[in-house]
């Protein structure tokens, strides 16, 4: 089936696009200026899910009591045998689901060891389409610019794939977004594979076992956890080098803030 048929695709079919996501990451224990995760966008043009397949695999195991207990037993055995490398690891913390019919976007993420979720309106992004062109995975892509959630984004979208969707929360162009990078380059998504799949799974495991907050509440909580001086009391110093400058323990928001900066 050709990509042009996407607009009439059945609910049991979807396009699956894999993206390499490069970004700084800061947790309660570590901070890195540039790491990468593998994410997947599932979309049928009406609904979509953007997620890490490795993280979803672990969440699927831990979604039942039996699975959670079995996984903990497996991890304990691996540690006892000094085979920690066999333990599956999460690869990115968040999920994004979009419902274009209901104009709702939902985010699932983790802060301070607690799982959260929040909804926001799937509002129009005011894109400025330019005449710049590049080829990504064999598709002719056009460049567009917009400000979204406090950052300025450059994206490349392909009208050859008529899906008004993209990585993370980006959407609203006349073709699928295959690459997106913010000004400064700290956050960068680029597609590295496209295929069709049948019977896509759009739900998020254990989605009801998450606290409901607002986006502003989530990002302020995550930032306050980092900037609380007590977080480093029992931790060894961690030096992060970013653009030739060294920082201890975390990157201040004046240097590198989160992917969304309009939470303040």
Digit-coded pLDDT (tens) for 69-98: 988 899 899 989 898 888 888 888 899 999
**CA–CA gap between residue 155 and residue 175 (Å, rounded):** 11
CA distance 92 to 188: 14
Nearest to 173 by CA among 183, 187, 163: 163
pLDDT value at residue 29: 59
CB 167 within 8 A of CB 41: yes
Residue 45: CB atoms within 10 A of its CB come to 17
158-191 exposure pattern, b = at least 16 Cβ within 10 A, e = fewer: beebebbbbbbbbbbbebbbbbbbbeeebbbbbb
pLDDT band at 68 (very low <50, low <70, confident <90, very high): confident
Residue 262 clears pLDDT 70, i.e. is over it: yes
The pLDDT tens digits for 182-226 are 998 999 999 999 999 998 889 999 998 999 999 999 998 888 877
Closest CA to 178 of 60, 46, 56, 41: 41
Question: What are the tens digits of pLDDT across the range 7-59?
Answer: 445 556 899 999 999 998 766 556 677 888 999 999 999 999 999 999 999 98
pLDDT at 217: 93
Lowest mean pLDDT among 75-79, 98-102, 237-241: 237-241
The pTM score is: 0.86
């Amino acid at each position: 089936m050709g990509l042009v048929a996407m607009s009439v695709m059945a609910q049991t079919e979807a396009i699956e696009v894999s993206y390499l996501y490069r970004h700084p990451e800061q947790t309660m224990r570590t901070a890195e200026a540039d790491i990468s995760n593998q994410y997947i966008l599932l979309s049928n043009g009406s609904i979509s899910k953007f997620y890490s397949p490795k993280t979803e695999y672990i969440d699927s195991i831990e979604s039942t009591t039996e699975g959670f207990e079995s996984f903990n037993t497996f991890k304990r055995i691996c540690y006892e045998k000094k085979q920690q490398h066999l333990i599956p690891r999460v690869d990115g913390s968040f999920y994004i689901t979009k419902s274009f019919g209901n104009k709702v976007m939902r985010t699932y993420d983790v802060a301070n060891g607690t799982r959260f979720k929040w909804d926001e309106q799937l509002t129009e992004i005011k894109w400025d389409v330019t005449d710049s062109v590049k080829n990504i995975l064999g598709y002719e892509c056009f460049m567009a610019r917009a400000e979204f959630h406090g950052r300025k984004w450059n994206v490349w979208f392909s009208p050859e794939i008529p899906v008004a969707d993209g990585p993370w929360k980006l959407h609203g162009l006349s073709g699928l977004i295959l690459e997106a990078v913010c000004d400064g380059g700290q956050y960068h998504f680029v597609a590295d594979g496209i295929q069709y799949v049948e019977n896509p799974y759009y739900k998020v495991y254990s989605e009801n076992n998450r606290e409901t907050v607002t986006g502003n509440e989530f990002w302020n909580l995550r930032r306050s956890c980092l900037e609380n001086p007590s977080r480093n009391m029992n931790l060894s110093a961690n030096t992060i080098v970013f653009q030739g400058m060294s920082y201890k323990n975390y990157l201040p928001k004046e240097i590198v803030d989160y992917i969304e900066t309009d939470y303040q």
